[in-house]
Each structure stands twice: as structure tokens, then as C-alpha cells.
Amino acid sequence: MTKEDFIEKFPDVKVQQFETAVVFSYREVQETVDAACTSLGMGLIYVERQGRKITCFTSSKMKAALDKMVKGAKLTDPNTNEEGTVTSDKPFLMGGEYCVNVDFPSDSGAYSCEYFIE
């Protein structure tokens, strides 16, 4: 992925690259990225890794949206216009991006946070 993949939806997208001393497990990458984003106040759009290299795509716009996606928050599905309720305490990393559990009248499950951002 490149910055251009996100620039339309996130004009303020930034790229951070990290290199670790050893190859991290998937869980270690998640924990490291989550801690870095939290401590630096970054809103993670997507993370990818290759060996010891970790690339994070972040945005202030995403950070503002993530801060609102907490348990009890209402989100609208952009495809169906159904309103759902966030059931996870906060966004969590899954498959390289932050996700939340949402209950809609017709369905429930884990959704990418980026899905709800216009």
C-alpha cells in the first residue's frame, strides 16, 4: 500500500515506518502499533509489515473518528443507512486496521472503523 491509496478519504494521511531488532509476532506488532498510536496521538488507518519493517498509515481525521467509536456510540452503515450501536469498549486492531463490534437491526459483527468514515 502507498499513501496515495488513502489520500482521497484522508487528505492528511502520514506514513510512519519502524524497524525492529527482531521479527515480531503478529501479536507483538499489534501491541507495538497500538501503544505507539496511543502514546503519539495518531489515528491508525492501516498497518502492514514485512519482516522487521512496520509501516503505519495515520491521520488526524481518523484519530478524531476513533475517539468517538466507543461502547454505546451510534454508527450508520453507509450502504444501508441502518443505525447500529458499538458494543466493543473501544476500537481494536484486526487484520491491519482498527475495528469495532457493531449491532445493527439486521446483523452484527466486527467492522472496519474506516468503513464508517466519509
Residue 36: burial class (beta carbons within 10 Å; 0-12, 13-18, 19+): middle
The answer to whether the predicted template modeling score (pTM) of the entire model surpasses 0.75 is yes
pLDDT > 90: what percent of the chain?
86
Cell triple for 105:
437491526
pLDDT at 19: 93
Q: Is 100 left (phi over 0), alpha (psi -120 to 50) or beta?
A: beta
pLDDT of residue 24: 93
Q: What angle do CA 39, 42, 47 make, to 5 degrees?
A: 105
CA distance 115 to 91: 13
Q: Is residue 103 over pLDDT 90?
A: yes
pLDDT of residue 38: 87
Task: Quote the cell numbers at residue 23.
Answer: 521479527
Residue 60 pLDDT more than 90? Answer: yes
Q: Mind listing the pLDDT tens digit for each residue in 29-50?
A: 999 998 988 888 899 999 999 9
**What whole-number distance in Å separates Cα of residue 73 and Cα of residue 71?**
6
